[in-house]
Amino acid sequence: MSAYQAFDNEMAIEYINNLGGIFPPDAQLSCYEFGDGNLNLVFRVTDQHNHSVILKQALPYARCVGESWPLTLDRARIEANALLRHGKVCPTHTVQVIHHDSVQAVTILEDLGHLRILRGELNAGRTFANLGRDVARYLATTSFYHSDFYLSAVEKKSLVQTFTNPELCAITEELFFDDPYQDSERNHYPDALSPEVSKLHRNKALKLAIAQLKTRFLSSPQALLHGDAHSGSLFVDDTTTKLIDPEFAFFGPIGFDLGSFIGNLLLNFCAQHGRINEPSKRRDIHTYLLRTIDICLSEFEQQWLSLCAQQGKDSTLLVPGYAEHFLNDVFQDAIGYCGCEMIRRTIGLAHVSDLDEIQDVKARLRAQRLALEVGEQLILHARSCHNKDACYQLIISVLQ
Amino acid sequence: MSAYQAFDNEMAIEYINNLGGIFPPDAQLSCYEFGDGNLNLVFRVTDQHNHSVILKQALPYARCVGESWPLTLDRARIEANALLRHGKVCPTHTVQVIHHDSVQAVTILEDLGHLRILRGELNAGRTFANLGRDVARYLATTSFYHSDFYLSAVEKKSLVQTFTNPELCAITEELFFDDPYQDSERNHYPDALSPEVSKLHRNKALKLAIAQLKTRFLSSPQALLHGDAHSGSLFVDDTTTKLIDPEFAFFGPIGFDLGSFIGNLLLNFCAQHGRINEPSKRRDIHTYLLRTIDICLSEFEQQWLSLCAQQGKDSTLLVPGYAEHFLNDVFQDAIGYCGCEMIRRTIGLAHVSDLDEIQDVKARLRAQRLALEVGEQLILHARSCHNKDACYQLIISVLQ
């Protein structure tokens, strides 16, 4: 196969057989496709001993927005290379790449089927003690080693070129920063939320803050980001945390990933009001989510400062106090992007099941209103937080 | 000629004859080389009717730092393409490209020999009424049309790749932000300045500010800059202002060019203390330089806001008030980079004749000390300026 072809089950098996080396020569392979099919095909290929790998193939369009949003297959190259680079510095929390083929836009990955996707687990009220620490380590390590503190400017400029990802960035630019703050056909929300949405559209201070956050998203290549670090991109169990699916990877503001992750925890926080009726159980998951955010911020800071001290290379940036100053900007960005994520997941194109699957209509509306309100307040007050603790306190105060 | 060869006079003439179309077929060409030879050969090719063009050819090394600093010829491509892009939106103030050949690293340019280089004119005490306005128009126009306010993110990312200029940026990174604030073999200054230099090296607040300015230089691709907008890159007469030599062009913080230009005016301001003895004459040139800075800042702001209003495309960034907020960051950056330029041109590798050619040793030292002091104060207080007028007032106050 020399030209791109979307695979079916048989083609996926044939591809792996032709490749060789993935399974033993006598392997008898079976296969099924189980992706949500929005952007990619995802096959599980298993042999007679129940060993398996994942074969992921990019589709040349985004199905959720119809054929009208064609997408370059180049994102498969970007995703595989982001995983390879992140995996090199943080193998513990990065899904492993076994093979990549940019012509077929195919990546073969370790099968994480023994783990569960974080979003579903949180929705079911299950908690993971290491989550905040692990995600912080992944984000701090992968961003530090791709930042100006570590890379030479020449190396970094070359990587920025390699990871230029205009089409997938454009999706984020429009869905994150444009649509929710203006009338757009892609927005969707219940009529009952219209007053809140109109209020957002009239809030001039909010729109100024959004312009600033969009500018930094567009023009602040601080490090190689995951680019889509939401609860659906995280595989977990009690001892393991793995990030998957960085097809939106690009060099951007470090706070973007941190904010996306925290935003998804806070969306779940808001949703639990409509999901768990028993007050003590709800309190437990709320406490867990806040504790996870607190640990994530602290661990991120500690890891970054420790990496600067041990691995930092740019003597001008390593002047005492500058890393702390830099991180404070990262935390302010994170709070802002966290707020954006909460708003766009409530009224924009791509929603979260945390909120949308709340059965009771009134409870769902209350949770959605809370998510909008929390998101708005975080965006408005992010720049007043002058350290990590102030960021955490802001989150606590807007939830009350 | 298929492989690169450094030209001599005859080869330059032969090249132009072979190219055709530059001069009439019967032209009899003469040629001489008059570049300073640090980075490039510069030939003037003239016919029997005294029509002339400039042929500029990049050399594969930077002569001023010895053969130890080899430079890619790719900078000739970047320079020619920056001139073409800047010339398209601001032809009045951009030298015209007639032909470019990236194999020979040759660019043929209109001859601006009827104009004079600004640095020499200022050194001689000559003034140009339109200078501040013209440079502001060039900087505002070329930056606006290459910013997120005008370009789509997809267009801009593609241009950022085209204008990735790692080697020449590395020169600026080291000479601007590293060397002057630490011991470096490339620094040079009279022994008598050692106490002032030591004081700079011990100033922690200054080094924090430098780290921030370097970070923005490394990772803030706001627009396609000239990259080297000093008084030696400006050709002027009473009615004309033309920018030349953007081989350092890259996507960076807009305030960098503005700060470089203002920094060179302030270096001249400091130098005039040692150049002109007659108080009233010195006062005149001082008044002129400050007035030029004031006009430049005002015109830059006005042009940018007017371009945003008339030509802006990104609706999220065009929310009322955001352009003003964005410009304030640009002005703060400009003041900081202005201070960097003053310091590095006084004690770093590449000096300015404004200071170095002051005959009287004591007067020269006084001017150098003033330049260092003014540069330091501008860097330290840049972030406290919350609008253009505050920036100008800061400049006035540190000069007193």
pLDDT tens per residue, range A166-202: 999 999 999 999 999 999 999 999 999 999 999 999 9
CB atoms B220 and A222 under 8 Å: no
CA distance A124 to B274: 77
List pLDDT tens digits, range A248-285: 999 999 999 999 999 999 999 999 999 999 999 999 99
Backbone φ and ψ for B277, nearest 5 degrees, come out as: -85, -35
C-alpha–C-alpha distance, residues B59 and B72, integer Å: 8
- Separation CA A12–CA B38 (nearest Å): 59
Is residue A393 scored above 60 in pLDDT? yes
Nearest CA of chain A to the CA of B298: how many Å?
Answer: 23
> Per-residue pLDDT for B38 more than 80?
no
Residue B68: band (very low, low, confident or very high) from pLDDT cuts 50, 70, 90: low
The ranges of chain A annotated as CATH 3.30.200.20 are 9-110
Mean pLDDT of A234-251: 97
Q: Which residue ranges does chain A devote to CATH 3.90.1200.10?
A: 116-399
Answer yes or no: is pLDDT of B35 > 90: no
Query: 3.90.1200.10, 3.30.70.100, 3.30.420.40, 3.40.50.300: which CATH number matches B116-399?
Result: 3.90.1200.10
Residue B39 has pLDDT above 90, yes or no: no
Instruction: Quote the distance between the C-alpha of residue A220 and its chain's center.
Output: 18
Q: How far is CA B117 from the centre of its chain?
A: 13
Alpha carbon distances (Å) from B305 to B308, B312, B328, B335? 5, 9, 12, 20
Examine the pLDDT at A63 and tell me if it is beyond 70: no
Q: Structurally, what CATH architecture does the domain formed by A9-110 represent? A: 2-Layer Sandwich (3.30)
Token pair 């009224």: residue:
A347
Instruction: Supply B205's token pair.
Output: 């607040």
Residues of chain A in contact with residue B218, where contact means CB-CB under 8 angstroms, are 148, 153, 156
CB B332, CB B383: distance < 8 Å: yes
Contact B181 A316 (CB under 8 A): yes
Helix axes of A194-202 and A322-347: crossing angle, nearest 10 degrees: 140
- The token duo for B380 is 């330290």
pLDDT confidence of A71, banded at 50, 70, 90?
confident
Q: How many CB atoms lie within 10 A of CB B369?
A: 16
Tell the residue number behind the tokens 């100006």, with chain if given: A148
Question: Quick one: pLDDT band at residue A347, thresholds 50, 70, 90?
Answer: very high
Residue A164 pLDDT greater than 60, yes or no:
yes
Rounded average pLDDT over A323-339: 98
A103 touches chain B (CB under 8 A): no
What is the C-alpha separation between B11 and B104, in angstroms, rounded?
11
B78 to chain A, closest Cα gap in Å: 15
pLDDT digits (tens, 9 = 90+) for B359-384: 999 999 999 999 999 999 999 999 99
pLDDT at position A61, please? 75
Q: Are B283 and B273 in contact (CB under 8 A)?
A: no
Residue of B nearest to A250 (CA): B157
Cβ-nearest to A211 among B182, B220, B322: B322
pLDDT of A351 strictly over 60? yes
Residue A135: the pLDDT is 98
Cβ neighbors of A149 (< 8 A, separation 6 or more) are A307, A308, A312, A313, A314, A317, A318, A323, A326
**Both tokens assigned to B117:** 């280089």
**pLDDT surpassing 60 at residue A66:** no
Q: Do A283 and A120 touch, CB atoms closer than 8 A? A: no
Contact between chains at B153 and A167 (C-beta distance less than 8 A): no
Of the pLDDT bands very low, low, confident and very high (cuts 50, 70, 90), residue A60 is: confident
Confidence band of A373 (pLDDT split at 50, 70, 90): very high
Quote the CA–CA distance of B345 and B355 in Å, as a whole number.
9
Between CA B371 and CA A232 the distance in angstroms is 56
What is the structure's pLDDT at A39?
A: 82
The amino acid present at A191, given as its one-letter code, is: D
3-state helix, strand, coil in chain B (%, to 5): 55, 10, 30
Mean pLDDT in residue range A38-49 = 93
Cross-strand bridge partners of residue A252: A223
Contact (CB, 8 A) for A236 and A118: yes
- Categorize the per-residue pLDDT at A240 as very low, low, confident or very high, splitting at 50, 70 and 90: very high
The structure tokens listed for B290 are: 């400050």
Tell me which residue in A160, A220, A321 faces B220 most closely, judged by beta carbons: A220
* Contacting residues of B for A161, CB less than 8 Å apart: 161, 164
- The lowest-confidence range among A114-128, A196-210, B68-82 is B68-82
Q: Would the pLDDT of B318 be above 80?
A: yes
CA separation for the pair B188, B377 (Å, rounded): 21
Chain A to chain B Cβ contacts (< 8 Å): 106
> Which of A210, A220, A316 is closest, CB to CB, to B178?
A316
Contact between B107 and B81 (Cβ < 8 Å): no
What pLDDT is recorded for position A197? 98
Chain A interface test: which of B316, B343, B383 (most A C-beta within 10 Å): B316
CB of A160 less than 8 A from some CB of B = yes
Task: Give the pLDDT mean for B248-258.
Answer: 98
Q: Does B294 reach chain A within 8 Å, measured CB to CB?
A: no
The answer on pLDDT for A67 being more than 80 is no
Closest residue in B to A152 (Cα) is B170
Confidence of residue A35 (pLDDT cuts 50, 70, 90): confident
Per-residue pLDDT for A305 more than 70? Answer: yes
Q: Measured between beta carbons, which residues in chain A are less than 8 angstroms from residue B322?
A: 207-208, 211-212
pLDDT at residue number B399: 95
**A166: closest CA of chain B, how far (Å):** 5
Alpha-helical regions (H) of chain A: 9-19, 74-89, 118-123, 131-144, 153-162, 166-172, 194-202, 204-218, 255-275, 279-311, 322-347, 353-356, 361-381, 388-399
The predicted pLDDT at position A38 comes to: 72
Nearest-by-CA chain A residue for B146: A219
- Mean of pLDDT over chain B: 96
Tell me the sheet residues that pair with B94. Answer: B243
Does residue B200 sit at the A interface (CB-CB below 8 Å)? no
pLDDT of B36: 76
Place A207 in a pLDDT band, splitting at 50, 70 and 90. Answer: very high
For B322, name the nearest residue in chain A, comparing CA atoms only: A208
Closest to B162 measured CA to CA, from B139, B148, B146, B142: B146
Interface mutation vs chain A, best among B148, B218, B220, B328, most A CBs within 10 Å = B218
Question: Cβ–Cβ of A215/B161 closer than 8 Å?
Answer: no
Of B210, B161, B223, B231, which Cα lies nearest the Cα of B379?
B210
The alpha carbon of residue B107 is apart from the nearest alpha carbon of chain A, in Å, by: 25
pLDDT tens readout for residues B120-174 = 999 999 999 999 999 999 999 999 999 999 999 999 999 999 999 999 999 999 9
Cβ contact (<8 Å) for B148 and A218? yes
Whole-number percent of chain B with pLDDT over 70? 97
